[in-house]
């Protein structure tokens, strides 16, 4: 048992929750739930990023103050995460007083250490990114991410001396080969460092909606540098040194690949400049790419639909919360780009959930009710299912610990498949009441118990329902994995509840 501090990026308050942000947040939530399951003291942080010119402009467009606007947008994210059963321990907003305090103390430490200086910046600026680009990094004068025309700006700024940390960052990467995962993303960040680092602007005079610079009243901190510090704000930076020491060495940032340089280059350098160790680990994930016939029809009808237009709440209304969570975790390996489609969710739902897991639970509970009077038999110590179950436990646990939810669920579904095959082989529905029937059903019940334990980070409500159906009082999420993940602990004698189908089949798109 140890500690685990997991963070999502804080989501920009001009956006609404969408499938992309849900993908990140569900993955972080599953990792937090796993670490609680194995007994780690766990802290899970998410929140909203609420400063910057884009927010101020949007608020004015809607005849609202920036604070009124961000109050509204932040509440949308809270509602979406509540619907998706996100178990965050802290939801941070960058407009909170605690964040202002941490930002000012952190950047003042960098200033006092001689790593911040004043100069004039002239360059190309993307309002959507809230970031500057060089001519070389632009695409014919357009933002490489948003394709919007870049605006040439010139203003007096305070700069962070990033160039001074090129050698230290190189040494840090060499000494910490797993600082960034997967390796392809680590190589990308390292190549950026090796290509040479330029000092970066960290303040603005052209806007007022931001954290004030304590040593220069005419400036506010640029939104990106304010935002990155949220990971320290939430653990008491500038207020409680003991809390920082408790959590920071076990910090894990889960971020999308579009913000690698901020989290994997600028942020560790900023920490070094402030006299703090960089975070322990950055896990980078890929993008979900929109696909599928049904979504394409929607696009044709509306003119243009992007992944960011798809609200996760709409999908939960159609498929349910846990099936959507399962799809986001199972379909794509964390780190790779993946395809998102309505057909993909439907197929996973009907195949993995309805046909495999749902059918297994229904088969076994129905047989126990009809042939054993609803009283569950015990599993055998020497069950033929035991070796495969123990392999699934080891493989899934290793995968969860390695930020690989897809592999963990693949191993779990391997046990489901083996158990269904075991039932097909022995055909307990043809057996009379007796020792052989009890042995087969007891073994299957134990496999179901272990499946629910392994899948609970992904589908907490479904797994709780499964445990209740097989007569267990506590929930899987309340268990300690090291104690519960051993073959043979299903007690027998429990009263089985058949219940309604866990996953009624969905109609496929025509």
Model confidence pLDDT, tens digit, residues 223-234: 889 999 999 999
pLDDT of 170: 98
Q: CB of 162 within 8 A of CB of 266?
A: yes
pLDDT of 428: 97
Q: Is the pLDDT of residue 509 over 70?
A: no
Phi, psi torsion values for 152, nearest 5 degrees: -80, 125
> How many Å apart are CA 88 and CA 45, to the nearest integer?
6
Percent of the chain with pLDDT over 70: 96
| Tokens, residue 115 | 């790593």
> How many Å apart are CA 207 and CA 198, to the nearest integer?
24
For every residue of 41-105, DSSP letters joined together read EEEEEEEEE--SHHHHHHHHHTT--HHHHHHHHHHHHHHHHHHTT---SEEEETTSHHHHHHHHH
pLDDT of 192: 95
Model confidence pLDDT, tens digit, residues 334-381: 999 998 999 999 999 999 999 999 999 999 999 999 999 999 999 999
Q: Which of 31, 11, 7 is nearest to 334 (CA)?
A: 31
pLDDT of 304: 53
pLDDT of 214: 96
pLDDT of 407: 98
> How many Å apart are CA 456 and CA 460, to the nearest integer?
4
Q: Which of 468, 482, 471 is nearest to 442 (CA)?
A: 471
Q: CB of 132 within 8 A of CB of 204?
A: no
Model confidence pLDDT, tens digit, residues 111-120: 999 999 999 8
Between 435-455 and 359-371, two packed helices, what is the crossing angle to 10 degrees? 150
Q: Any alpha helices (H) in 303-385, and if so which ranges?
A: 312-319, 321-330, 342-348, 359-371
Fold entry, domain 342-484: Isoleucyl-tRNA Synthetase; Domain 1 (1.10.730)
pLDDT of 305: 61
**Least confident interval from 73-82, 198-207, 297-306, 488-497:** 297-306
> How many Å apart are CA 451 and CA 443, to the nearest integer?
12
Burial class (CB in 10 A: 0-12, 13-18, 19+), 41: middle
Please compute the mean of the pLDDT values over residues 152-175 and round it to a whole number: 94
pLDDT of 303: 47
Q: CB of 115 within 8 A of CB of 159?
A: no
Please compute the mean of the pLDDT values over residues 66-70 and round it to a whole number: 94
Count the Cβ atoms, other than its own, within 10 Å of residue 145: 13
pLDDT of 128: 72
For residue 309, what is the enclosing H or E element?
none
Q: Pick 3-313's CATH classification: 1.10.3720.10, 3.40.50.620, 3.40.309.10, 3.80.10.10.
A: 3.40.50.620
Model confidence pLDDT, tens digit, residues 375-431: 999 999 999 999 999 999 999 999 999 999 999 999 999 999 999 999 999 999 999
* Domains 3-313 and 342-484 in one fold: no
Whole-number average pLDDT of the chain: 93
pLDDT of 140: 75
> How many Å apart are CA 440 and CA 380, to the nearest integer?
9
Half-sphere exposure of 103 (CA within 13 A, CB side): 27
Q: Which residue has the tokens 């947040």?
A: 25
Kindly list the domain boundaries of the chain, sorted by start residue.
3-313, 342-484
Phi, psi torsion values for 48, nearest 5 degrees: -130, 145
> How many Å apart are CA 325 and CA 55, to the nearest integer?
30
Model confidence pLDDT, tens digit, residues 430-481: 999 999 999 999 999 999 999 999 999 999 999 999 999 999 987 888 888 9
pLDDT of 7: 98
| Partners of 121 in beta bridges | 155
Between 435-455 and 386-401, two packed helices, what is the crossing angle to 10 degrees? 0
Count the Cβ atoms, other than its own, within 10 Å of residue 155: 14
pLDDT of 297: 47
Sign for the CA dihedral angle at 338, 339, 340, 344 comes to negative
Q: Which of 164, 151, 168 is nearest to 199 (CA)?
A: 164
pLDDT of 299: 46
Q: CB of 334 within 8 A of CB of 400?
A: no
pLDDT of 130: 66
3-state percent helix, strand, coil for the chain, nearest multiple of 5 = 50, 15, 35
Confidence of residue 302 (pLDDT cuts 50, 70, 90): very low
| Partners of 149 in beta bridges | 142
pLDDT of 294: 58
Please compute the mean of the pLDDT values over residues 180-193 and round it to a whole number: 97
pLDDT of 116: 97
């Amino acid at each position: 048992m140890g500690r685990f501090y997991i963070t999502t990026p804080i989501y920009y308050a001009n956006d609404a929750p969408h499938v992309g942000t849900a993908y990140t947040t569900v993955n972080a939530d599953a990792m937090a739930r796993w670490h609680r399951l194995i007994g780690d003291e766990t802290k899970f942080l998410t929140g909203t990023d609420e400063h910057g010119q884009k927010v101020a402009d949007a608020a004015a467009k809607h005849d609202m103050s920036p604070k009124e606007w961000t109050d509204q947008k932040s509440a949308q994210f809270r509602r979406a995460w509540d619907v998706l059963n996100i178990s965050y321990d802290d939801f941070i907003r960058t407009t909170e007083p605690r964040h202002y305090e941490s930002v000012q103390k952190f950047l003042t430490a960098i200033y006092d250490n001689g790593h911040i200086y004043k100069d004039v910046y002239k360059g190309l600026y993307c309002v959507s990114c809230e970031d500057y680009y060089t001519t070389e990094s632009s695409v014919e004068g357009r933002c490489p991410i948003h394709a919007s025309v870049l605006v040439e700006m010139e203003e007096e700024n305070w700069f962070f001396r990033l160039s001074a940390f090129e050698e230290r960052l190189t040494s840090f990467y060499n000494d910490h080969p797993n600082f960034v995962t997967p390796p392809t993303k680590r190589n990308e960040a390292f190549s950026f460092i090796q290509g040479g680092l330029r000092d970066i602007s960290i303040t603005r005079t052209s806007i007022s909606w931001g954290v004030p610079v304590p040593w220069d009243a005419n400036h506010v901190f640029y939104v990106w540098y304010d935002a990155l510090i949220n990971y320290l704000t939430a653990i008491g930076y500038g207020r409680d040194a003991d809390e920082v020491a408790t959590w920071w060495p076990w910090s894990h940032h889960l971020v999308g690949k579009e913000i690698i340089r901020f989290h994997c280059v600028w942020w560790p350098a900023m920490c070094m400049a402030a006299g703090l160790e960089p975070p322990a680990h950055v896990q980078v994930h890929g993008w979900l790419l929109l696909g599928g016939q049904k979504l394409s029809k929607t696009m044709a009808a509306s003119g243009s639909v992007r992944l960011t237009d798809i609200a996760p709440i709409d999908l939960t209304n159609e498929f349910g919360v846990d099936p959507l969570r399962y799809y986001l975790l199972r379909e794509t390996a964390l780190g790779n780009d993946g395809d998102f489609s309505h057909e993909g969710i439907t197929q996973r739902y009907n195949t993995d959930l309805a046909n495999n897991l749902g059918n297994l639970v229904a088969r076994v509970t129905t047989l126990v009710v009809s042939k054993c009077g609803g009283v569950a038999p015990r599993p055998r110590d020497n069950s033929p299912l035991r070796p495969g179950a123990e392999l699934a436990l080891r493989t899934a646990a290793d995968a969860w610990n390695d930020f690989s939810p897809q592999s963990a669920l693949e191993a779990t579904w391997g046990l489901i498949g083996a158990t269904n095959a075991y039932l097909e082989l022995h055909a307990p529905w043809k057996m009379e009441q007796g020792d052989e029937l009890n042995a087969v059903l007891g073994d299957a019940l134990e496999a179901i118990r272990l499946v629910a334990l392994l899948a609970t980070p992904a589908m907490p409500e479904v797994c709780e329902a499964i445990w209740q159906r097989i007569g267990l009082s506590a929930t899987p999420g309340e268990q300690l994995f090291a104690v519960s993940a051993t073959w043979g602990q299903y007690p027998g004698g429990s009263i089985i509840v058949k219940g309604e189908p866990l996953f009624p089949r969905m109609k496929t798109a025509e």
